[in-house]
Every structure is written in C-alpha cells, then in structure tokens.
C-alpha cells in the first residue's frame, strides 16, 4: 500500500487500514488525524508518539485485538481483522512441541487471571521457548509494571504492522 493511499483514504477506509494494525479506537482516531504523512517514518513516529498518550483503557482495548500466544485456533474467527498478521507473528508457536504449548496455555490462563488481560509480547522472530521464557519472567510482575511492558510490546507489534502496510 502506498503512503498516498493512506493519506487520501476516506474515514471508513482508513479506519479499516489502521484497525488491522491496532484496534484501539483512540489510536486509530489519532493516527487518522495525524495525516498526511510526508514520509513513512513520519507515520511510524506519529504512532510511537500516540502510544505514549494512550491510557490504561486504550491499552486494554488494543490487547483485546490479539489472540493469546499459542492459541492459533482463535485467529480466524474472533481476530479476523488481525489474523493474517498475528499468525505470521506467532509462527514460532506453530513449531513448538506439545509440552511447550501446554505450559504456555497454563501460564496464559494464570496470567489472564492475575492481570485481567492477555499476555502481550512482540512475538515476531521469537521461538516458542523464548515466548514461554518471557511469560515466566513477567508473570510475577506487579500490575502497573506489567501493563507498562505490555503497552510497549503492543507499540512494537503495531510498528511492525505499519511497516508491513507500506
């Protein structure tokens, strides 16, 4: 997709385009209002700046746009707007052995129960074992610290998705 198309898309089109990167309405609205972008880097910079202004509620909405790491079965139904991106991003889990997938599933449930949102990690390029190690290292964090980390990871995921748009 060209930067020109992003800059000139109507409200409905740009909403769908940006929603494929992050489903938080405040982020989508802010990105829409930040147009036009002179260079691709300007779009990425705007996204990074907007992420720093999001609230906890915005992050929680953004997190809802993701399947749990390792839960690839839900991609096509519940997460249709990001399923193509997420399945590629989580490709490391598709190659995992059963014990890693089962442990990840168990930790995902414990994480969700503790924090009230799913485990968010920029999974691109990470193996299943690396993601498992990350959830193990983060599950004992305090709520605010974990929300901050998850927000940073969400911004990384969105950044990658924006780059893939162009």
Q: For residue 145, what are the contacts with CB-CB under 8 A and spacing of at least 6?
A: none
Active site includes 105? no
Q: Give the pLDDT confidence score for residue 80 in this predicted structure.
A: 46
What radius of gyration, in Å, describes the C-alpha atoms of the chain? Answer: 16
Q: Give the pLDDT confidence score for residue 67 in this predicted structure.
A: 83
Of 66, 88, 105, 143, which one is the catalytic site residue? 66
Q: Which domains does the chain have, with CATH numbers?
A: 3-165 (1.10.3330.10)
Q: Pinpoint the alpha helices (H) of the chain.
A: 3-8, 11-19, 25-34, 40-51, 56-63, 83-89, 91-94, 98-115, 128-138, 143-165
How far is residue 29's CA from residue 33's CA, in Å, rounded to a whole number?
6
The token pair at 18 is 């940006």
pTM of the predicted model as reported, rounded to 2 decimal places = 0.83
Q: Give the pLDDT confidence score for residue 82 in this predicted structure.
A: 46
Q: What is the mean pLDDT of each run of 10 residues along the chain (166 residues)?
A: 96 96 97 97 97 96 86 47 48 68 92 96 91 96 97 96 94
């Amino acid at each position: 997709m060209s930067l020109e198309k992003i800059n000139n898309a109507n409200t409905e089109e740009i909403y769908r385009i940006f929603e494929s990167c992050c489903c938080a309405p405040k982020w989508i609205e802010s990105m829409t209002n930040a147009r036009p972008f002179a260079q691709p880097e300007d779009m990425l910079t705007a996204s990074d700046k907007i992420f720093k202004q999001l609230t906890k509620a915005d992050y929680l909405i953004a997190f809802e746009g993701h399947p749990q790491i390792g839960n690839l079965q839900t991609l096509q139904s519940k997460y249709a707007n990001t399923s193509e991106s997420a399945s590629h991003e989580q490709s490391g889990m598709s190659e995992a052995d059963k014990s890693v997938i089962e442990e990840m599933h168990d930790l995902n449930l414990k994480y969700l129960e503790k924090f009230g949102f799913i485990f968010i990690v920029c999974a691109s390029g990470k193996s299943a074992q690396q993601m498992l190690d990350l959830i193990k290292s983060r599950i004992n964090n305090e709520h605010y610290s974990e929300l901050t980390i998850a927000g940073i990871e969400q911004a990384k995921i969105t950044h990658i998705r924006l780059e893939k748009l162009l």
